[in-house]
Amino acid sequence: MYYRALGKIITVVAEFLESLLLAREGFRHAFFTRRGGHSPAPFDSLHFGTAGHGVDHLAANVRVAATALGVDPARLYTVTQVHGREAMVARGTEARRELLRCKADAVVSTTSSVACGVKVADCVPILLADRASGAVAAIHSGWQGTELNVVAAGIAALRGELGASGRRGDAAGACDLVAAIGPHIEVCCFEVGDDVAERLRRCAPSIDVVDHRPGARPHVDLRKIVRAQLEASGLRRDAIDDVRGCTKCDGGRFFSYRRDSDQSGRLLAAIAVRSA
């Protein structure tokens, strides 16, 4: 899907992918591709990292994304991701730079007009929403975060915030969640050593997540693991959507650290709180 955002001089077209499930429930969200921003090569052009372009380029890209999500750029919140399992709550009163300094791998909000986002360049982005309250979370799950089950931590934070705000839900998790797993490095390209493969296999021991190919190192299916973790946290199978795409395979649409190393930009996945 394409969103047309009008700038002062030219029309900027930002490309993003959507989950039919989240869209059907009325949540504005986007798994942005690398197309349609302001950053120069090799980070062209919708790059959300801090390195490789100027602050004006980054601010312009944030404006494009915020317009697509229907929020003020100052209310599109991201954090400093550290491959852990901490979650931060965005209440809409914080300065964007204030939350950006926080070290976490999930952003949660129940506040209307707020959008939560995570940045990826091979890691798994998960967008989560509560159908009843309109609350949302964005989760960044690299292989280390997957091993730590950051998905469960993000869901617990969202449920806890719903209970604290009295907007439906409690610490035990009585809310109606839906989720979308976005593009990332898929099993075709996620080659790892035997030790990492075994550590990730333990994350979902009841399903086949490691592909042992003759004459090759193991390949791991992060999507299968994340889906299993969502289900283990109480989501029904039909409440989880897959938005497909391999970041390493598709250089035309996606940044990939595995493919481009320090020349890789950062993609954004984000979701806005929906009015109940």
Residue-wise pLDDT for 205-233, tens only, equals: 999 999 998 888 999 999 999 999 999 99
Q: What is the chain's pLDDT, residue by residue, as a tens digit (276 residues)?
A: 333 333 344 456 689 999 999 999 999 999 999 999 999 999 999 999 999 999 999 999 999 999 999 999 999 999 999 999 999 999 999 999 999 999 999 999 999 999 999 999 999 999 999 999 999 999 999 999 999 999 999 999 999 999 866 666 544 445 799 999 999 999 999 999 999 999 999 999 999 999 998 888 999 999 999 999 999 999 999 999 999 999 999 999 999 999 999 999 999 999 999 987
* 3-state SS track over the chain: CEEEEECCCCEEEEEEECCHHHHHCCCCEEEECCCCCCCCCCCCCCCCCCCCCCHHHHHHHHHHHHHHHCCCHHHEECCECCCCCCEEECCCCCCHHHHHCCECCEEEECCCCCEEEEEECCCEEEEEEECCCCCEEEEEECHHHHHHCHHHHHHHHHHHHHHHHCCCCCCCCCCCEEEEECCECCCCCCECCHHHHHHHHCCCCCCCCEECCCCCCCEECHHHHHHHHHHHCCCCHHHEEECCCECCCCCCCCCCHHHHHHHCCCEEEEEECCCC
Task: Tell whether 6 is covered by a domain.
Answer: yes
Instruction: Give the range of the structural domain holding residue 231, as residue numbers without chain letter.
Output: 2-271
What is the number of structural domains in the chain?
A: 1
CATH number of the CATH domain containing 109: 3.60.140.10
Q: What is the pLDDT of residues 110-161, one digit of tens each?
A: 999 999 999 999 999 999 999 999 999 999 999 999 999 999 999 999 999 9
Task: Tell whether 73 is covered by a domain.
Answer: yes
pTM value? 0.93
Task: Tell whether 276 is covered by a domain.
Answer: no
